[in-house]
Amino acid sequence: MKYSKQREIILAIVKESDKHPTAEEVYMEARKRLPSISLGTVYRNLHILVELGMIKQIKGLDEKDRFDKTLKDHGHLLCTVCHKVYDADDVLIDTLKDNIEKESGFVTQSYNIVVTGICHTCMKERRYENEFTRN
């Protein structure tokens, strides 16, 4: 594999971000640092980095694939009020995994866990009213 400035930038952006960015978001940030970069290159390199195990890919958070600097498998909590994505406590997920293995003899390779709801902060500040009265 040959070095490329583009790949270095793309890796740096994901590693710097706390926001589980989409390919499009990585592309937008990358263009600030290297205006000539193309979206295709971003997609290609994100997948290479996933293959190399340097970043992780998250599916099912919303319609778009997202990319994550954290390598360990972990769940995500998506707040429907502030739209922030929180990382779920590893321990809880590990417990689930162990229980599934014990219960059904299913050997886990990976998991994709997205819990949608209202985060502690939004609950505390009562920002949720609209959510519950919407329908």
Instruction: Tell me the closest approach of the beta carbon of residue 4 to a second copy, in angstroms.
Output: 24
DSSP state of 22: B
Does 105 help bind a second copy (rule: CB under 8 A)?
A: yes
> Measuring CA to CA, which residue among 73, 72, 21 is closest to residue 46?
21
CA dihedral 11, 73, 58, 117 (to 10 degrees): -130
36 makes contact with DNA (CB under 7 A): yes
* DSSP symbol at 34: -
Q: Are 134 and 83 in contact (CB under 8 A)?
A: no
Binding of residue 24 to DNA (CB under 7 A): yes
Of 4, 5, 38, 112, the one binding a second copy by CB under 8 A: 112
Spatial CA neighbour of 10 closest among 100, 1, 24: 24
User: Toward a second copy, which CB reaches closer, 39 or 96?
Assistant: 96
Judged by CB under 8 A, which stretch of 2-10, 22-30, 38-46, 83-91 contacts a second copy? 83-91
Interface with a second copy (CB under 8 A), residue from 34, 80, 83, 125: 80
Footprint (CB under 8 A) of a second copy, residues 11-50? none
* Residues engaged in binding a second copy (CB under 8 A): 59-60, 77, 79-80, 86, 88-89, 92-93, 95-97, 99-100, 103-120, 123-124
